[in-house]
Amino acid sequence: MEISYHYLLMANQALLQKKLLTELTDTGLTLGQPKVLDYLKDHNGASQKDIASGCHIEAASLTSVLNRMEEKEIIERRMLNGNRRSLHIFLTETGQEFQSAVEQSFRSLEDKAFQGITQDERTQFMKTFIKIYDNMVKE
């Protein structure tokens, strides 16, 4: 039996999420929150719309993720330039600590995933995977 691309992609995503949340048990982070923290690492102060787009999350789902993060004082919403209709999301000090833990866990899981794979193989895989991602984004 041949294993399909879509099966491997879904299985790897599920395994990554499970292992990530296990590694981050002490933080109390829930599904969706690590992805947001990872995005805010490079886009601190982003709008909710930009986060939803960057994380490929529906706006309604993101709202509930952000609400839980705000309750835990991981993020804070701020108005910029007096624009009341658009709030921007910033990491708090606690959020920055959690983001560091998420980054470390992602790095550790990537190292495990690429064990036994040469740097050339990894580079080629990433080039191909980026092409696949670009193809999917175009649709």
The pLDDT > 70 percentage for the chain reads 99
Domain ranges (residues) in the chain: 5-138
Predicted local confidence at residue 92, as pLDDT? 98
Q: Which of 105, 91, 92, 93 is nearest to 26 (CA)?
A: 105
Asked if 16 and 67 touch (Cβ cutoff 8 Å), the reply is: no
Integer-rounded Cα radius of gyration of the chain:
17
Q: What is the pLDDT of residues 115-124, one digit of tens each?
A: 999 999 999 9
Q: What is the pLDDT of residues 73-128, one digit of tens each?
A: 999 999 887 776 788 999 999 999 999 999 999 999 999 999 999 999 999 999 99
Kindly report the number of other CB atoms within 10 A of residue 74's CB atom: 25
CA gap 82, 64 in Å, rounded: 24
pLDDT mean across residues, the chain:
94
Residues 59-70: what's their mean pLDDT?
Answer: 94
Q: Could you say which architecture CATH assigns to the domain 5-138? A: Orthogonal Bundle (1.10)
CA gap 91, 70 in Å, rounded: 10
Residues 21-26: what's their mean pLDDT?
Answer: 95
Predicted local confidence at residue 2, as pLDDT? 86
- Res. 25: pLDDT tops 80: yes
